[in-house]
Amino acid sequence: MTPKERYQKLQHLLHQENPLLEETLSYYQLLDKVGHKTGLLSPQESYAQQISWWPLISLLGTFSAGKSSFINRYLGRSVQTTGNQAVDDKFTVICHGNRPEITTLPGLALDSDPRFPFYGMSAQIEQVARGEGKRIDSYLQLKTLEAAPLLGKILIDSPGFDADSQRDATLRVTKHIIDLSDLVLVFFDARHPEPGAMRDTLEHLVAATRQRHDADKMLYVLNQIDTAAKEDNLEEIIGSWQRALSSQGLTGGNFYAIYNDQASQIEDPVVRARFAARSTRDLDKILQRIDKVGIERSYRITRSLETIAQQIEQEWMPRLQTELTLWRKRVLLADLSAIAALAVGWFLLSPTQEVSQVAAQQAEGGWGFIGLIVGVLSVFAVHFFAREKLSQWQQKSLHKQGLVPLAKALAHSTRAWRSLVFSQPRGWGSRSQKILFKVTQASKQTIQKLNDQFTNPSGPKTETLAEHSPLINAFELKPESTSELEKPLIR
């Protein structure tokens, strides 16, 4: 599917669902132009496919932390298998379907469909774990069912963070999910004290995300708190978990404590009431955030325009310029080495004669011109060989650093036919910078439109004094005498 076809599909889907987001499609197309011109995007790629256009809610955490139970409770259906042990080692994407029964599809359905946030995930997995990209079905699966809570949103249930043979690839998928999600629920199991079993979760889902600009979308949920009912030490357990999170740099208030009261058996009615009050209060807050995820999605997609534009201008292009400068220096060094080697060879071939005499003798036989041509061709051969290999070497290094767009842009700017004289990255100039500026301004304006839907700092439309004061009618003023009074109250 070409980028144009993807945009047409998105436009059709958003036309009725969210016209304001439909407007942003044209600006993503402008970003694509810059991405294609500079090589950051391949011809078949699009920035629009790198984000989720549907509200995305992810549930992360360790095995048996209650993620699947929470999903089943939220949907009112037994969709995910639950248990105290690892019952599912895949990322499960759950979305609304047109059939009441649950339909399970392989990971290939997600990897090959640009409408889902895992499009092309097999290639990303392959980068961190060679050979694993072919096993995409071992990492992902799609479940669909007809359920009202799923309308307009996608849920993702993740495998636990215990060490396994797929660790690196799992972490790559997890990072991708966090980047795309509008809301991330990180579950902890109150039955398993920190730091033992929870060290990985704390490290990768707390410490690694505390510096994010969108860290507020991370909700940390301590589940199964009813296990503390016998000792009646709820505050102590919650306090210890909050201190554990604080030790990883989390200072926000997005911490919740819940349990499933339908599956719990707290005998003491006083204790049960106190635990239930805390759980109900926090659960309501979580559900309120889930209900508002559509609004957060609109802001995320709009903000991504500015984020991508700034990343291109402030990160990718300066770094690409540095890589190109380094590449040119290495190529010129290879050229000088080739010329020096040719000169040394020239002298070594004639060790007993003066250079001028040798040149004269070769010229008489026509060998001087042939030797010159051979030498020049040799230098050119070394030049083009060196520039290609050096570029590939730097691209490989960038791939290892996870800078795939930069590696593609470097290949784009170091084509064989492109002269070393060009110092700017290919496709980067004033026109591209103007496009990025236009996209950035459009992002800000769209966010203002979103704000206008929910805020009104100026209050309602200012009333005239004639409309505001009942005394006007009492005095029965003539139209010409009310001209001064009908001016706005606030000037």
pLDDT value at residue 69 = 86
- Given this model, what pLDDT does residue 305 score? 92
Least confident of 94-108, 129-143, 287-301, 415-429: 129-143
**In the chain, where the domains are located:** 1-42+309-455, 43-308, 464-491
- Run of H or E including 344: helix 317-349
Q: Which of 292, 286, 295, 230 is nearest to 258 (CA)?
A: 286
Question: To which residue do tokens 């989390």 refer?
Answer: 250
Up-side HSE of residue 66: CA atoms within 13 Å toward CB?
Answer: 24
Task: Indicate the SS3 state at residue 186.
Answer: strand
pLDDT score of 249: 65
Does residue 356 or residue 61 have the better pLDDT? 61
**pLDDT at 304 > cutoff 80:** yes
Across the beta sheet with 255-257, what order do the strands follow? 103-106, 140-145, 91-96, 154-157, 56-61, 183-189, 218-223, 255-257
Q: Are 482 and 466 in contact (CB under 8 A)?
A: yes
Instruction: Tell me the backbone φ, ψ of residue 444, rounded to 5 degrees.
Output: -65, -40
Whether the pLDDT of residue 37 is over 90: the answer is yes
| pLDDT in the model for residue 131 | 73
pLDDT at 1 over 80: no
- β-sheet bridge partners, residue 186: 60, 220
Contact yes or no for 120/161 (Cβ under 8 A): no
- Planar angle of CA 197, 202, 207, nearest 5 degrees: 160
What is the average per-residue pLDDT within 150-169? 72
Does 343 or 35 have the greater pLDDT score?
35
* Paired tokens of 198: 């929870």
Question: What's the CATH superfamily of 43-308?
Answer: P-loop containing nucleotide triphosphate hydrolases (3.40.50.300)
pLDDT tens for 448-490 read: 888 887 666 665 554 443 443 333 233 333 434 434 433 433 3
More confident residue, 437 or 224: 437
Residue 357 CA to residue 361 CA, distance in Å, equals 6
Percent of the chain at pLDDT exceeding 90: 18
The Cα 71–Cα 447 span in angstroms is 31
Query: What is the reported pLDDT for 469?
Result: 37
- Considering only residues 128 and 378, tell me which one the structure prediction assigns the higher pLDDT: 378
Gap between the terminal Cα atoms of the chain: 56
d(CA 10, CA 126): 28
Mean pLDDT along residues 78-97: 75
For 251-279, the pLDDT digits (tens) are: 555 888 888 776 667 777 887 888 888 88
Predicted confidence at residue 465, as pLDDT, reads 37
CB 228 within 8 A of CB 237: yes
Summarised one tens digit per residue, pLDDT across range 209-238 is 666 667 778 888 888 877 766 666 677 777
Lowest mean pLDDT among 143-147, 267-271, 409-413: 267-271
DSSP code of residue 282? H
Range among 6-15, 138-147, 226-235, 350-359 rated most confident: 138-147
pLDDT of res. 415: 87
Q: What rounded mean pLDDT belongs to the chain?
A: 77
